[in-house]
Structure 1
Amino acid sequence: MRAIAAALAISLTIASGAAAQVIDDPEATVVEALVVSAKLPGPAWWRISDADTTVYILGTPGATPKGMTWDSSVADRRLDGAFALLTPPTLRAGLTDIPALLRLRGKMKDDGDWAAAEPALAVRVQRAWSAVEPKDPDGWRDWKPLVLGGLIAGKTNRKAGLEYGQVSRRIEKLARKHRVKVRAAETYKAMPLIKTVARQAEDSAGLVCLTETLDTVEQGQDRYRVAAQAWAEGRVRAALTAPRSADRCQYLLPGVAEMTQRLTAAEVDALANLLKTPGHAVALYPIRSLVAEGGVLDQLRARGITVRTPGDG
């Protein structure tokens, strides 16, 4: 989901109105047989295999404390001699997309009228924003609610010393040490999804997402730290308890559920294709997306591919 979050950062622009929406979260349910704690040191690994190939798959966490330490000895060993490191599918915008992105940027601004219609929510926003922007306590009034959710979440995480992607960066650094080729499962153009969101997003999505974000912020950022520590220790079930307001919000937006399915399918195909090359490889994918019903490992099992859990060592 991080690929989608990055692509949508500039396009979450249409928000106002009070109609409630129910979030259809396709990753809410996990496959219990896959939620197994690790036997080996460090985070949990799953693996798929056939007669002459093994692919080790590391489930990566979301936000983690900056500079978090974790035992990467298993990753180091598995990258030694690997013929590839597969990273998740990505969404990218190029230089030719800059004019369109700049036009969309203007839609991020707001006159703040929504706050008068939602006074209780506005009070919560004021409190959360002032905590992260004390020098500009009223700066939130310039933004639409859907954008505000992302801004408040990002600023709160940074203040708490949380960041995304450091685990993947460390694995890729290890891959370079072992001279392992790194490649994404697939790359897609981001602009079609961005335009769909900008043109078709429903007004109610902004307030729903903003409310979810504030719920998470008000409960404190320690839940991210607890989940990250569990991830580092291979305790899968506890690692899955990290807040998911950002991921859930995205499912309210047009085109996101379809793109999520497309990204998952691309990962499944890429992993299955790795089995065609003798030897062993390593792959990364967000941990919940690995073990969710209909997720990567569930789809691989449906194809008849052998999937072993972290409990198998």
Structure 2
Amino acid sequence: MSTIVRLLACLTVACVSPGIPAQEPAAAEPAVLEAVVVSGEQPGPGLWKVTRNGHVLWILGTTRPLPKDMTWLSRDVEAVIAESGEVIMPPHASINVKGGLLGGLLLAPSLIGARNNPDDKTLADVIPADLHARWSVLRQRYLPRDKGVENRRPVFAAFELFEAAIDQAGLSFKDIVTPVVRRAAKRAKVAMTEPGVVLKIDKARAAIKEFKKASLDDLDCLRKTLDLVEGGLDVLRQRANAWAIGDVEALASLTYVDHYRPCQDALMRSAVAEQRGIDELPDQVRQAWLDAVDQALTRHATSFASLGVVTLTEAGGFLEHLRTLGVDIEPPP
């Protein structure tokens, strides 16, 4: 699923960051890694060890984007899964549209149309001139043939630009972890738990119609995305390299402007989202995951989970909430 579709889904489902840190840039320090994207076979990071009453949960911290041409050497993770009694997948939120699958398919054209500004306005009409000047330079570099992007709302324009910049930087948002985890669990006949929340929307078409007319507080989203594309791509390469080679310390130290959170907030805190309780979904999703972990630590001597490393380690993140379960936590070696 593309980033654009993920953001459109925020109309009716919780948005979960793919691994973009929620910090401002740290003071400038010498680069830990060369800003050249690694390739070939790479080991990935070690695992967090969570223990309670002699039972162990191993957690793989994931991140995206990653190097396009790397192959993850997943033998160690597959061995842990084979010894586990349960695999806990990343938490999710899903939507139950009235009319089921057919109803969801019929909404697709409306979702695509929701990307554009109301009243046929262009970006030049809705953002300050200085911001549009910066945008125009980057659009010409990364999206030279995409004329339609000038009609997008700032939040959607931002992510189209970001995805194009990531691609040119030799990186990819492709999820290389989940398919491996699923195959390993299936091969070892280990039960998979997929914690999540289902949001029921009886009038999804009306919600989309409201969204098309609504204003969004998304200028900060575009501004921080431009900041990141202008000056943060090397750090993204370094983070991707750090995950690939298993350098957890470097991964933790390489921070940069968070553009994803203000973009997510622009959608999650819109009137359309708040009126339908969508803004409450992130807390509900986190609790569903914690409940699954609590049960796994009770039932099994060993279990396994994967989760975005930023979601795990940020202030107020999943590791902090895990401690309320009475566990001991050891970071990766």
Post-superposition shift, 1:249?
2.2
* SS of residue matched to 2:57: strand
Deviations 1:178-232 (A, max 9, x none): 333333122433859x849964998452211111111111115232221122123
Does structure 2 conserve the Cα–Cα contact (< 8 Å) formed by 1:52 and 1:278? Answer: no
Does structure 2 conserve the Cα–Cα contact (< 8 Å) formed by 1:10 and 1:105? Answer: no
Alignment partner of 1:49 is 2:18: no
| 1:279 aligned residue (295, 298, 301) | 301
Does structure 1 conserve the Cα–Cα contact (< 8 Å) formed by 2:86 and 2:303? Answer: yes
Show structure 1 runs of 5+ residues with no match. 13-24, 30-40
What is the 5 A alignment of 1:219-298? 219-240=231-252, 241=254, 243=256, 244-252=258-266, 253-254=268-269, 255=274, 258-298=280-320
Output the amino acid matched with 1:75: V
Distance 2:145 2:123 in 1: 23
TM-score of the aligned structures, taking structure 2 as reference length: 0.73
Q: 2:128 maps to which residue?
A: 118
Deviations 1:83-123 (A, max 9, x none): 22211112334622333443343232233444145222222
Distance 1:162 1:76 in 2: 25
Q: 2:152 maps to which residue?
A: 143
User: 1:4 and 1:291, CA in 2 relative to 1: closer, same or farther beyond 3 A?
Assistant: farther
* SS of residue matched to 1:150: helix
Alignment partner of 1:205 is 2:229: no
Show structure 2 runs of 5+ residues with no match. 12-19, 25-42
Q: 1:183 maps to which residue?
A: 193
Distance 1:282 1:5 in 2: 30
Post-superposition shift, 1:280?
1.3
Q: 1:97 maps to which residue?
A: 104
Alignment partner of 1:80 is 2:63: no
Does structure 1 conserve the Cα–Cα contact (< 8 Å) formed by 2:197 and 2:285? Answer: no
What is the 5 A alignment of 1:26-65? 28=23, 42-65=44-67
Distance 2:214 2:121 in 1: 18
Post-superposition shift, 1:237?
4.1
CA RMSD of aligned residues (A): 3.4
Alignment partner of 1:108 is 2:115: yes
Does structure 2 conserve the Cα–Cα contact (< 8 Å) formed by 1:267 and 1:296? Answer: no
List structure 1 runs of 4+ shifted beyond 6 angstroms: 2-5
Distance 2:309 2:200 in 1: 23
Distance 1:155 1:3 in 2: 12
* SS of residue matched to 1:217: helix
% identity of equivalent residues: 25
* SS of residue matched to 2:93: strand
* SS of residue matched to 2:326: coil
